[in-house]
Amino acid sequence: MSSIEERQREEKEQRRRTILDAAETVLETKGRDEMTMADIAEEARLSRSLLYVYFEDMDDIVLGVTHRAFQSMRRRFQSGVTQHDTGLRQIRAVGDAYVAFAQEEPTYFDLVAEFESRAADPEEATARMRQCLAEADRALEVMADAIQNGIDDDSIRADLDPMQTAVTLWGCTHGLIQLAANKGTGLEQRYELSSAALVDEGLSFLGVSLAGQPPDAPAETLPADQNGNA
Amino acid sequence: MSSIEERQREEKEQRRRTILDAAETVLETKGRDEMTMADIAEEARLSRSLLYVYFEDMDDIVLGVTHRAFQSMRRRFQSGVTQHDTGLRQIRAVGDAYVAFAQEEPTYFDLVAEFESRAADPEEATARMRQCLAEADRALEVMADAIQNGIDDDSIRADLDPMQTAVTLWGCTHGLIQLAANKGTGLEQRYELSSAALVDEGLSFLGVSLAGQPPDAPAETLPADQNGNA
DNA sequence: CACGCCGTTGACATCGTGTCAATGCCCAAC
DNA sequence: GTTGGGCATTGACACGATGTCAACGGCGTG
């Protein structure tokens, strides 16, 4: 009896994967906006109704693919870190890995971007949404560890909080890559900015702050927020 | 005859504004995803069909509101710049203005974010899309001018290209604010990071790179991209 | 006063979604 | 071997949103 139930579970999981594979293919060809449930069903050679048995709705399916995207991203981060020695080099490797991720898996990157651009209520979140958040957290941990390494080996200034800095770098890098990817061609035309160089030098720009002297030394050069924003 | 044509044009323009006002109200209450053409029509007390006379479709209407959003943002940037003296303080003021913009006009910020997250083909772009791009360019010019001021008054390192740095700061700041706005509550819970402090200290973090010494001095601390990404 | 233009509208066809009852299938029990 | 039950699967339906079109009505013009 256990073997039968087991087989049923495996088949169920397999069909779930089939649906996600199909959705991924459609996402790559038509894009998120044009995709319909019928497209996914046809690609998976299943009835449209069946999709609703395995997933809540299309958002749920997309979240499933998004989870894959976060997994791939985190793996790239980890791989980048392990290939370098000093903390600063490691964190730079994470940045480069993110660039490569956006270039080589643009569909995945778009899913991550869309996920990041939507508010995620802390407790009131779907199970699949939590999966994505958990994977993103693991990626942040990788970055925070690299920063801690840098603090320990003196390649990164010691007054930074590793996790806070990881979040900061994550947000900056993401915004930078997204801007270059979507508005890059326009920028290359109007000004003479290669989007690749823009991102590359942008990462170096961030590296300066990581290695540079703490901000409290030249207090004059860093005026505080004068609007009283808490 | 000119007065009649003129009145007709004014009425037409007025109705366009009415529709955009209605769309803006609906956006604030229901959000982009839930909004329908019927909602806008009802809010504007017009027939749904009439909307299609003045706009192509809902995306077109949203782009109209997005243009307003970019205008408000640019005005805030300019206002921030004129209230400070040194270039570094000016660019910091732009960052603070962007934070205030996101806090006080979240609907506008979301529209800007959505616009930035979509690819804008250089030549193949809607007229209304071009309006938004033009306004964004003006905002970038404001930033680039402030950076140039900083280079001139020695508050910003001189080896930076003003426009490239403006784009870089824009991308970083946007990503930072978006991350804090959407994932802030989660971060505050899991770690002890106030999203306001995160953004504020993030801006200071960027300020270090602006004022800090050029990256070629300590070449060791800035390992180049080893993946050969051009 | 009649004509015509243009702003405006209701109605229609189409499409995508989500649900439900009905079908077919496989296994287990008798 | 046959029958019954549970589960996977499906076609069909109702609903909602979109975009278009012909028809209506008011206003200025000849």
pLDDT exceeds cutoff 60 at A219: no
According to the model, what pLDDT value does residue B192 have?
86
Å from B20 to nearest chain A CA? 23
Res A223: pLDDT: 46
The per-residue pLDDT of chain B, averaged, comes to: 90
> For residue range B70-94, what is the model confidence (pLDDT) as tens digits?
999 999 999 999 999 999 999 999 9
Is pTM beyond 0.95 here? no
Rounded CA–C1' distance between A10 and C26, in angstroms: 16
B175 and A176 within 8 Å at the Cβ level: the answer is yes
Q: What is the pLDDT of residue A11?
A: 76
Q: What is the mean pLDDT of residues A111-122?
A: 90
Region B101-127 average pLDDT: 92
Q: What pLDDT is recorded for position B12?
A: 84
3-state DSSP of chain A: CHHHHHHHHHHHHHHHHHHHHHHHHHHHHHCCCCCCHHHHHHHHCCCHHHHHHHCCCHHHHHHHHHHHHHHHHHHHHHHHHHCCCCHHHHHHHHHHHHHHHHHHCHHHHHHHHHHHCCCCCCCCCCHHHHHHHHHHHHHHHHHHHHHHHHHHCCCCCCCCCHHHHHHHHHHHHHHHHHHHHHHHHHHHHHCCCCHHHHHHHHHHHHHHHHHCCCCCCCHHHCCCCCCCCC
Of all residues in chain A, the percent with pLDDT exceeding 70 is 88
Chain A environment of B114 (Cβ under 8 Å) = 117
| Nearest C-alpha in B relative to A227 | B96
Residue B214 has pLDDT above 60, yes or no: no
Strand D at less than 7 A from CB of B48: yes
Give B190 CA → C17 C1' in Å. 37
Decide if A211 and B218 are in contact by the 8 Å CB cutoff: yes
| Residues A2-32 pLDDT 10s | 455 566 677 788 999 999 999 999 999 999 9
Mean pLDDT of B165-180: 97
Mean pLDDT of B96-124: 93
Residue of B nearest to A90 (CA): B223
According to the CATH classification, is domain B57-230 in 1.10.1270.20?
no
The pLDDT assigned to A116 comes to 94
Distance CA A222, CA A108 (A): 37
What does the pLDDT read at residue A220? 43
Q: Look at A147 and B229; give whichever has higher pLDDT.
A: A147
pLDDT at A126 over 50: yes
* Averaged pLDDT of chain A: 89
User: Within chain B, which residue ranges are assigned CATH 1.10.10.60?
Assistant: 1-55
* Percentage of chain B exceeding pLDDT 90: 77
- pLDDT on residue A224: 47
Q: For residue B16, give how far its alpha carbon lies from the nearest alpha carbon of chain A (Å).
A: 27
| For range A137-166, the mean pLDDT | 96
Report the gap between the CA of B96 and the closest CA in chain A (Å). Answer: 7
- A122, A191, A198: residue with CB nearest B168: A198
At residue B121, the pLDDT reads: 78
Q: CB count, 10 Å around CB of B218? A: 12
- CB within 8 Å of chain A, chain B residues 197-216: 198, 200-209, 211-213, 215
Per-residue model confidence (pLDDT) at position B49: 96
CATH 1.10.357.10 in chain A is located at: 57-230
pLDDT at A198 (0 to 100): 96
Set of chain A residues whose Cβ sits within 8 Å of the Cβ of B103: 229
Q: Quick one: B1-55 is in which CATH superfamily? A: Homeodomain-like (1.10.10.60)
In tens, the pLDDT along B123-150 reads 788 899 999 999 999 999 999 999 999 9
Q: Can you give the pLDDT at residue B228?
A: 42
* Residues 55 through 114 of chain B touching chain A, CB cutoff 8 Å: 84, 88-89, 92-93, 96, 99-100, 103, 113-114
